[in-house]
Amino acid sequence: MECPHLNSSVCTSIDYSGFPNGSPSSWCCSVCRSNKSPWVCLTCLSVHCGRYVNGHAKKHYEDSQSPAAGGQKRCDKQQSQHLVCMDCISYSTFCYRCDDFVVNDTRLGQVQKVREHLQSLENAPLTADRTLKRKLLESSSPNSKLLKDNGGASTLCATGLRNLGNTCFMNAILQSLRSLVEEFRKTLCSLWQGNPTAFSPDSLFYVVWKIMPSFRGYQQQDAHEFMRYLLDHLHRELQGNRNGAKTPAAPQNGSSTVVTSIFGGVLQNEVNCLVCGTESRKYDPFLDLSLDIPSQFRHKRTKDQEPGPTCTLLDCLRSFTDLEELDETEFYMCHKCKKKQKSTKKFWVQKLPKVLCLHLKRFHWTSYLRNKVDTYVEFPLRDLDMRGYLLEPENSLRGGCLYDLAAVVVHHGSGVGSGHYTAYGRQEGRWYHFNDSTVTPTEEETVVKAKAYILFYTERNDTASSEMDTKL
């Protein structure tokens, strides 16, 4: 939320020498000496523990608002201070008067300055050996689970993201985008610095709150919806359209951006009237394809039943592109017959994107509930051939239709409003599992067993079609 108290509560001339020694995440409460959940007051820079420890940060605020000794009422200026504090671990800002997290800043940008200073203090011990942490031993096995630096300590060339409160949907998407696109990698370059301390994406999260009101708060959200909102807003920002007006999410009339040049493809929607045979064609831009899991694979089997055939990603793609007859609620308005008629519909891919994002529709409405389809869908790690779904496959080179897997988003749990999101991502031939703050190397055998929710495939370079790993 936009807090109106920052300018009066946040100290305009912060003396950083007043901060305790050591890393902010390990600072101790000045009252109980607990180092769990430290918060720093942005008025006086005193450190206290959070409300779920002993609550001394809140008590510090309450004491500042109570009458002074001798029964004298505090002046307005005193009552407007000590309202705002910052979490020394996630660097999120909270106002006790508003009783909510804060997304704005003072006129002088003091909140961001404090945040950056705390981050620099936290990362100071890591700066000296950061280069060593990212250097791999040439003798390391490609299947090695941990990367060794010259000092022999086990470390990872990846960084986790702190969960700010049911923000795993955002973390999973950001880690997947990091695995995919150079432009996103530059923006989120800190995710591959190999810091053992998880990076906190609170600044980005608060920007998301500003531009995407539906994602405000700390309830669980849908990762696919967040990805689409993020890409659409990024597309509009890159176009220079900051007034919120909706623009097409695919290049039209020279409106292409880095988003559409990477994720943008084109579908041909072909509808045929079954009465007069009139054919209608429409071209639809897309940033991702949402695929149904065919109904024959959705049935849950009991322990006594024999296992049925395994659903594959190709089954989902065929279901998406197969010819289908529209039901009565979707009858096509035939311009020749001048009325709605029975018709068939078929999708063709006219243009493939560089990054093919495939969303498996695991959540379906039944009556008043949104249930999850928990069916395992088999997917290839490499050599996904999209040539058979093209409108004009003869005009496409085979190498330009082959895709290799770069990232997978997985939903764990039973409902869209609950559960947990994690992601698998590939970097320099190695696979990693991203579970918020925790990053662990993993094997291909583990990745292919995941019940994927979103799959990201990268187009194979013609010049490097023999390579298994496409560098982004």
Set 5, 233, 412, 420: catalytic member = 420
Candidates 241, 214, 242; CA nearest to 228 is 214
Tell me which amino acid residue 8 is: S
Annotation marks residue 60 as catalytic: no
Which residues, 6 or more positions from 314, have their beta carbon under 8 angstroms from its beta carbon? none
Which residues, 6 or more positions from 373, have their beta carbon under 8 angstroms from its beta carbon? 293, 298, 361, 362, 363, 364
DSSP letters spanning 166-200: S-HHHHHHHHHHHTT-HHHHHHTGGGGS--SSPBP
Set 49, 95, 168, 401: catalytic member = 168
291: tokens are 């695929």
Q: Which helix (H) or strand (E) holds 281?
A: strand 279-286
- 420: three-class secondary structure by DSSP: strand
Candidates 71, 92, 93, 74; CA nearest to 83 is 93
Give, as one character, the DSSP assignment of residue 89.
Answer: T
21 φ/ψ sector (left φ>0, alpha ψ -120 to 50, else beta):
beta
Q: Which residues pair with 40 in a beta bridge?
A: 47, 86
What is the number of other CB atoms lying within 10 angstroms of the CB of residue 361?
14
User: Can you list the pairs that 26-29 forms with residues at least 24 positions away whose Cβ atoms lie under 8 Å?
Assistant: 27/88, 29/53, 29/54, 29/56, 29/57
- 294: three-class secondary structure by DSSP: coil
Residue carrying the six token digits 């000590």: 82
Beta strands, E only, 21-79: 38-41, 47-49
Torsion of CA 99, 103, 109, 110, to 10 degrees: 40
Candidates 47, 50, 68; CA nearest to 58 is 50
Tell me which amino acid residue 372 is: K
DSSP letters spanning 388-413: GGBSSGGGS-GGGGEEEEEEEEEEES
Annotation marks residue 75 as catalytic: no
| Rounded-to-integer distance, Cα 129 and Cα 70, Å | 55
Confirm if 94 and 103 have CB atoms less than 8 A apart: no
Tell me which amino acid residue 383 is: D
| Rounded-to-integer distance, Cα 12 and Cα 110, Å | 7
Query: Which residues are identified as catalytic?
Result: 168, 420
